[in-house]
Amino acid sequence: MSIRYIDEIDNLAGKKIFMRVDFNVPLDDNQNITEDTRIRAVLPTLNYALDQKAKIVLASHLGRPKGERKEKYSMAPAAKRLSRLLGKEVKLAPDCIGPEVHAMVDAMQPGDIIMLENLRFYQGEEKNDADFAKELVNGCEIYVNDAFAVSHRAHASVEAITNFIPVVSAGFLMKNEMNYFDKAMQNPIRPLVAILGGAKVSGKIEVLENLCDKVDKIIIGGGMAFTFLKGLGYNVGKSLVEDSLIDTAMATFKKAAEKGVKFYLPVDCVVADQFNPAAETKVCTVQEIPEGWMALDIGPATVTLFAEALQNSKTIVWNGPMGVFEMDAFSRGTFAMVSAVANSYALTIVGGGDTDVAVHRAGEYAKISYISTGGGAFLELLEGKKLPGIKVLEDNGHKH
């Protein structure tokens, strides 16, 4: 089954579109947006709908209000920023359901945009509640999902809502995500290299299992590497290790070997005597981590090894940093990998969360082929899972 995209729908003029977006942007203490990539990411879809003279109702969540109305989680800053980016008024509704919202939507003219208030002010959103979803629809005729980052969640505005609206489709951001993912996983140009980092093996074991069947090389960095290194018999000091997953990690390690997948682990690391930006640090090989010290970044020899492993790659998929890059002393490994990936001659796809922050901080984002907007959703795709939000788009995309 294929997904139907917004540009495959005839005549949007005057039609009411319910568009699920992900404007879950970071805010500082004064409610100022510190980074608006997620809002900019849906501009192509919005501009397309505006050019077609549609009426657009935007819906998103922000933060974790847990079903209660909390002003600090209001969509107001997002509506204001979008107004500025589009150069036109984006009205903020007082709520996301209810008579006042209905009246506002009824009064819309072609080319108008309304931003609904935070969907998660209601528990029905996360519970995928059918009645809440029905309320959200509010006379809209076309549903557009352009929120890849929440498509791994079966929430009311992502899944249940598709049962109550005649036309179900996806936007251009979703199209990009799916296209790049297909290029990486369905028919990649080889060699295909997966780089996995981040603190923990848990949550990535299924990804690793699935990747063993698809990739040519796997590179492991970040805290998760030390569960593997301990399993291989190294003394890793106070480094982060998930003891309960050592056997699972070793099974994956063996599976990779059996499949002929090259498996790279760090050969040296930056260690510290405590988890602290001001800690004493030194570089040592993984064989010589001092008792009571912890590894918080990959070392220079590992950077050289990993960069060398990327030399002949044609497709690179990366999720998770190489160390605690938020602290300056432990950021070099991640930033060096960003450079190696950015300067490779490969199709490079970076999966959300911390990794995209690192790419932006290193100033190399222009050289990455594609940066995914979804951390969790990206990981679940790598696991080979069907995401609920994408499944309903495939099932309902051509129901009319």
Indicate if the alpha-carbon torsion angle 84, 87, 93, 97 is positive or negative.
negative
* The pairing of beta strand 192-196 with beta strand 217-220: parallel
Annotated binding site for (2R)-3-phosphoglycerate: 38, 120, 153
Top CATH class of 188-383 equals alpha beta
pLDDT 10s digits, 253-305: 999 999 999 999 999 999 999 999 999 999 999 999 999 999 999 999 999 99
Active site residue 16: no
DSSP 265: -
Active site residue 38: yes
**Residue of 14, 111, 376, 384 marked catalytic:** 376
What whole-number distance in Å separates Cα of residue 217 and Cα of residue 312?
Answer: 11
- Written as one letter, the residue type at 309 is A
Q: Do domains 6-173 and 188-383 have the same CATH topology?
A: yes
**Alpha carbon distances (Å) from 377 to 22, 247, 394:** 12, 26, 16
What whole-number distance in Å separates Cα of residue 95 and Cα of residue 74?
Answer: 10
Active site residue 200: yes
Q: How far apart are the first and last CA of the chain?
A: 14
Annotated binding site: 22-24, 38, 61-64, 120, 153, 204, 326, 352-355
SS3 state at 235 = coil
pLDDT 10s digits, 196-247: 999 989 989 999 999 999 999 999 999 999 999 999 999 999 999 999 999 9
Bridge partners for 318 per DSSP: 195, 350
> Domain locations in the chain?
6-173, 188-383
Active site residue 376: yes
Give the closest residue to 46 by CA, choosing from 75, 82, 4, 91. Answer: 82
Domain 6-173 has CATH 3.90.1300.10: no
Residues 245 and 202 sit within 8 Å (Cβ to Cβ): yes
Q: What is the pTM of this model?
A: 0.88
pLDDT 10s digits, 6-15: 999 999 999 9
Percentage of the residues of the chain whose pLDDT score is greater than 70: 98
